Structure 1
Amino acid sequence: MYIETLGNVGDTATLFSPIINVDGLTEPSVQFYYHLFGANMGDLSVDVYDGTAWQVGLFTSSGPVQTAGSDAFEQAIINLAGYTGDIQVRFVSTRTGVTSGDMAIDDFSVEEAPACAPVALLDTGVLNAMDAEITWQSQGSETTWIVEYGHCRFCSWHIGN
């Protein structure tokens, strides 16, 4: 899916998946790659219909993620633990600016959730001989991470609640 931000502020584009049965999956997940680039990128919301109602905003992003058109796509994983039967996924793009925004979604799948979801939007802040500031966006419900760093005999730290 590719969307160019042309039109009026507030316009939406919506892409629906076919209806997908997840009964064969122990812990289903929605997985896709996204590229959000441009000064007036807009908003992306990924919603899932659980057979009764739309669960809105299971994944959201506002504004640009990539800083150049040539930047790599980011992966998103939405854990659907507890979902059974038929589901449907929708991608909703909402225009927030006049022009200058390109949104692309690629490699969409519904499959078994990974045992250890990778982090998204990994970034660094302060980096010097004594400090390193690292930020990321979780891709599931995890609240604890193991961070390993250093030289040959490095330390391992647990971060979280």
Structure 2
Amino acid sequence: MKTKKSSHRAGNLALAILLPTLGVALPAHAAEHVATFESTLGGWTAIKDTAIFDWVRRAGGTPSSYTGPSHAHGGEYYLYLETSYGNTPGKVAYLESRNFEETVSGITFHYHMYGYHMGTLALEAFDGGVWRPVWSISGQQHAGHASAWTQKRIDLSGRTVEKVRFKGTTGAGYRGDMAIDQVTISTGETAPPPTATSPWSKSGRNIYYADSDGGNVGIGTNSPTADLSVLGN
């Protein structure tokens, strides 16, 4: 005689076999690619473009008064764009991610923009042919050095995205040190549900097969009434 435990195990196995036929979307491979900047750029590449300085790692406050954060969002280090020593106005520096073979579904990051001369922080996505604008924010966004960092989440699902980049454009003066930290790129997405119809249906917490000749066979959260021993223990 089979025990209740073995029946539950058989039921779970049956459910695992049956789910793909039920029209239930199963998650594709998903991953999170996190850059904390604690020791390196974490796979990102700094590109000066027209700027004098790159995005660089920094611990503590920035060199200039009345601009920049006093600390990282998490850990000790963050990245910032220096706006002193002639690196204004309208100077551009990029921070570019690597290429992703997987589908890029979203990005989450933290930013700090304290300073009267603050410029523009933008995010762009490369679709394999051109860079396309995704998001941007301009001007002072924080009241002081110690202001809490702002988290931003951007949904990229439905877009063709091979890689992304931050674009920092400096403002009119030295009080414009923008900063970013804790960047996470999410890849992978939920597989689309099958288009074919199925005789399987969900009822409450149970799943049933409706036979064309009448009657049904169900698998539920309780011990199944059908004999599933043919599926193994």
Query: Alignment partner for residue 2 of structure 1, among 80, 105, 116?
Result: 80
Query: Alignment partner for residue 180 of structure 2, among 81, 89, 105?
Result: 105
> Which of the two has greater strand per residue?
1
Distance (whole Å) between structure 1 residues aligned to residue 81 and residue 159 of structure 2: 29
Residue 112 of structure 2 corresponds to 35
* Superposition map of 1:60-99 within 5 A: 60-84=136-160, 87-99=162-174
Letter in 1 for 2:95: L
- Structure 1 residue 30 displacement after superposition: 1.2
Query: Alignment partner for residue 122 of structure 2, among 35, 45, 55?
Result: 45
Letter in 2 for 1:83: R
- Structure 1 residue 37 displacement after superposition: 0.7
Distance (whole Å) between structure 2 residues aligned to residue 112 and residue 66 of structure 1: 30
Give the TM-score taking structure 2 as reference length: 0.43
In the alignment, is the contact (CA less than 8 A) between 1:10 and 1:96 conserved in 2? yes
Distance (whole Å) between structure 1 residues aligned to residue 150 and residue 178 of structure 2: 12
Residue 137 of structure 1 corresponds to none
In the alignment, is the contact (CA less than 8 A) between 2:88 and 2:174 conserved in 1? no
C-alpha RMSD over aligned residues: 1.9
Cα 1:21–1:77 change in 2 (3 A) is: farther
* Unaligned ranges ≥5, structure 2: 1-78, 189-233
In the alignment, is the contact (CA less than 8 A) between 1:9 and 1:98 conserved in 2? yes
* Unaligned ranges ≥5, structure 1: 114-161
> Which of the two has greater helix per residue?
2
Q: Greater CA radius of gyration, 1 or 2?
A: 2
- Structure 1 residue 52 displacement after superposition: 2.5
SS of alignment partner, residue 18 of structure 1:
coil
Matched length = 108
